[in-house]
Structure 1
Amino acid sequence: MRTVLCCCSLISSPVFSSDISPYIVNGTETSVASYPDFVSLFYDRTAYDGMYGGHSFCGGTLLTNQYVLTAAHCIFSGGSINEEFMLFMTVGQTSDETDWIYNITPVRPAEFYYFSSFSDSESDLWKNDIAIIKLTSPLNTGGTVNLPTNESYRSNTESFTAIGHGNTTTNTTTYKLLKTSMSYVDQTTCAAKNSGLHDSQICFSGGTSPTMNNGVCSGDSGGPIYWDDSGTLRQIGITSFGPTICGAGSVTGVFTEVADYNGWITSVLNGSTAPNYIATDAKRLAYYQTRILSQPDSVTASRGSGGGGGSIGWSVLGLLLAILGYRWKGLASAIR
């Protein structure tokens, strides 16, 4: 049983299959000072009508100060790209999401890259769940991610850490950036739990506790799992999906294996791969005027209090976007 960990598709409430989901479970508080390559993806329409999401909907990491690595399902909905989230996304860095939206400086995306063969489908276990976002300008942070050059980390003797702003347990939200230790699960064992597992996916579990194991949960999608390579942290995976009940079972997180996409990542960074989608101010304005302002008054009247705009939580945002005809994807175990 599995569930995608992303929280960006839209319906009135998260849609989960029998047992896949995304949050940091059994985590401890950390900061972007310790993980300076980590970033968060936010929904931000404040320049148009003051609306914005109360939490990030996915995580990511900086390949450079202008390119973000994340999960493809973070920008898809129901098998198609989610144009609204791509247009009204901003990328920022914070350890505490109560600082959003006034105390951090986010940057909007300009270009999106993903595989045409990406499968936004549980039945296909979200094959090729990887995307790259080029920002309109560099993000002013202190770090970029280290990627692996081989797969020597595939051993349960190695040390791994997942981080994210996702839930701490199913349906339990946190604003803090959390980390948790995880252990490698071999492909045979993982495939027995996830029929149809792809070679480009890698699985992990965590230390046991009386009620749940370490893992990822809703909201952690797109974020990293790191390998401690003799003191150098290398991102070996992108959070994709996990159990619907966060921390349940012997596999508490399935990740896209970054090493299998090194060639594609390089081709995007050096400009030899064309973007799948380009976001512009003109597209944002046209979308807002034709797809949002044209909706019934009951949609725009649901803004937060305080002068015509404000934060909307995921349940309200999901409802608004459902009215717009979208589907909400629930992150598996850890948007923590």
Structure 2
Amino acid sequence: MSMKSNTALSVAGTILLFIAGSLCQLDVCGQSPLNTKIIGGEDAVAGAWPWQVSIRVDFGVSSYHFCGGSLINKDWVLSAAHCFQTYKASNIVIYFGRLSQSGLNTHETKRSVSRFINHPNYNSSVFDNDIALVQLSSAVDFTNYVRPVCLAAAGSVFAGGTESWVTGFGTLQTGGQPADKLQEVMIPIVDNIDCNNAYKGSRITSNMICAGLLNVGGKSACQGDSGGPVVNKNGSRWIQSGIVSFGTKICDDPKYPNVFARVSRYQDWIKSYTGSNPPGFVQFNSDGFRSSLSPPLFSISLTFCIIPFTISIYLSS
């Protein structure tokens, strides 16, 4: 994630939360007991984002982080389909409770992968339906440092200006080195109409959700953040609204919002694989404003590193 700073007027919207279904996970999902503060664009603290995972490819003699993801129940991780176009499941290892990519992670655990499932309608040319499920080889135990996130239920509304947070181990600048410590950044939702206008076409579909500060730029996600979660808070509960998907070539380009897979569009598909232990789905509704017509919520923007008008993936090497 890029480390530039900008200042903008803050305007709060009213957020209404309704619990919907999946009671088996609602007693644990989206709760982060160790997250005592929210500061965008800097190192996260241990346990602040307990659903965040580091997905690494392991060839025995070498391994490296290539995508992020989120724990959604004891057996499954949610990520982006474009992350799983090259590697075999047998070469992938997922780390939970990881704060740093180097040194000792006291609260860390890891699992191998039994399979990954890309959405059947994933379109690699435009990144539509950029969502994947990853099944773990064995279940993880929940702790204060390893917990599932709640998922946005079907019909959830994330209006322009709604506060969102993105986390990941991506590079700190365009073409730079991956972050050693988990990064966090705070951004507002951008209305899909404004997002599509920014991309000058019909690229943004109803399966996508956008975020960032138009015409401001600033802190941003970069290569290696793909597949990671975009979350929104109400009370003490966090709900995942999006999955890091694509953006523009320069990580802090102020002209283009960030684009994510819209999680609420995939409730039935996710439940069809997670079976008797589905994630906790929460209906989220927020008031807001057309992002290009009113001041943005926060002083931080986020963009992804992909060539404008030519979508490419965010894998780190």
Structure-1-length-normalised TM-score: 0.65
Structure possessing the higher relative contact order (Cα contacts under 8 Å, 6 or more residues apart): 1
Structure 1 counterpart SS, 2:151: coil
Asked whether 1:204 is paired with 2:204, we answer no
Structure-2-length-normalised TM-score: 0.69
Q: Deviations over 1:97-123 (max 9, x none)?
A: 0148999542111021122221122xx
In the alignment, which residue of structure 1 is the partner of 2:130?
Answer: 129
In the alignment, which residue of structure 2 is the partner of 1:147?
Answer: 151
Asked whether 1:106 is paired with 2:110, we answer yes
Equivalence map 1:34-73=2 (5 Å): 34-46=48-60, 50-53=61-64, 56-73=65-82
In the alignment, which residue of structure 2 is the partner of 1:240?
Answer: 245
Distance 1:141 1:244, change over 3 A: farther
Per-residue deviation, 1:86: 2.7
Distance 1:197 1:158, change over 3 A: closer
Out of 18, 33, 57, the residue aligned to residue 47 of structure 2 is 33
8 Å contact from structure 2 (residues 161, 190) kept in 1: no
In the alignment, which residue of structure 1 is the partner of 2:92?
Answer: 89
Amino acid at match of 2:63: Y
Asked whether 1:179 is paired with 2:184, we answer yes
Q: Which structure shows the higher helix fraction?
A: 1
Distance 1:150 1:261, change over 3 A: closer
8 Å contact from structure 2 (residues 214, 255) kept in 1: no
8 Å contact from structure 2 (residues 82, 130) kept in 1: yes
Per-residue deviation, 1:40: 0.8
8 Å contact from structure 1 (residues 182, 214) kept in 2: no
Once residues 196 and 163 of structure 2 are traced to their aligned partners in structure 1, the CA distance between those partners, rounded to angstroms, is 22
In the alignment, which residue of structure 2 is the partner of 1:230?
Answer: 235
Q: Deviations over 1:245-299 (max 9, x none)?
A: 0011233410000000011111110179xxxxxxxxxxxxxxxxxxxxxxxxxxx
Amino acid at match of 2:76: Y
Once residues 45 and 75 of structure 2 are traced to their aligned partners in structure 1, the CA distance between those partners, rounded to angstroms, is 21
Once residues 87 and 179 of structure 1 are traced to their aligned partners in structure 2, the CA distance between those partners, rounded to angstroms, is 30
Amino acid at match of 1:67: W
Amino acid at match of 2:122: F
8 Å contact from structure 1 (residues 25, 247) kept in 2: no
In the alignment, which residue of structure 2 is the partner of 1:331?
Answer: 314
8 Å contact from structure 1 (residues 213, 252) kept in 2: no
Larger radius of gyration: 1
Structure 1 counterpart SS, 2:82: helix
Structure 1 counterpart SS, 2:130: coil
In the alignment, which residue of structure 2 is the partner of 1:317?
Answer: none
Query: What is the percentage of aligned positions where both structures have the same residue?
Result: 25
Farther-moved stretch of structure 1 (212-221 vs 65-74): 212-221
Once residues 116 and 41 of structure 1 are traced to their aligned partners in structure 2, the CA distance between those partners, rounded to angstroms, is 21
8 Å contact from structure 1 (residues 63, 144) kept in 2: yes
Once residues 237 and 187 of structure 1 are traced to their aligned partners in structure 2, the CA distance between those partners, rounded to angstroms, is 13
Farther-moved stretch of structure 1 (248-257 vs 125-134): 248-257
| Structure 1, unaligned runs of 5 or more | 1-22, 77-81, 273-328
8 Å contact from structure 1 (residues 181, 206) kept in 2: no
Per-residue deviation, 1:167: 1.1
Structure 1 counterpart SS, 2:222: coil
Once residues 136 and 24 of structure 1 are traced to their aligned partners in structure 2, the CA distance between those partners, rounded to angstroms, is 34
Per-residue deviation, 1:151: 5.0
> How many residue pairs align between the two structures?
239
Q: Deviations over 1:187-223 (max 9, x none)?
A: 11111223321111000104887xx423321110000
Structure 1 counterpart SS, 2:204: coil
8 Å contact from structure 2 (residues 89, 115) kept in 1: no
Out of 219, 223, 244, the residue aligned to residue 218 of structure 1 is 223
8 Å contact from structure 2 (residues 198, 257) kept in 1: no
Once residues 157 and 205 of structure 1 are traced to their aligned partners in structure 2, the CA distance between those partners, rounded to angstroms, is 9
| Structure 2, unaligned runs of 5 or more | 5-40, 278-311
8 Å contact from structure 1 (residues 36, 141) kept in 2: no
Out of 251, 255, 259, the residue aligned to residue 254 of structure 1 is 259
Q: Deviations over 1:155-205 (max 9, x none)?
A: 234221001000121022221101111111111111122332111100010
Distance 1:186 1:103, change over 3 A: closer
Structure 2 counterpart SS, 1:106: strand
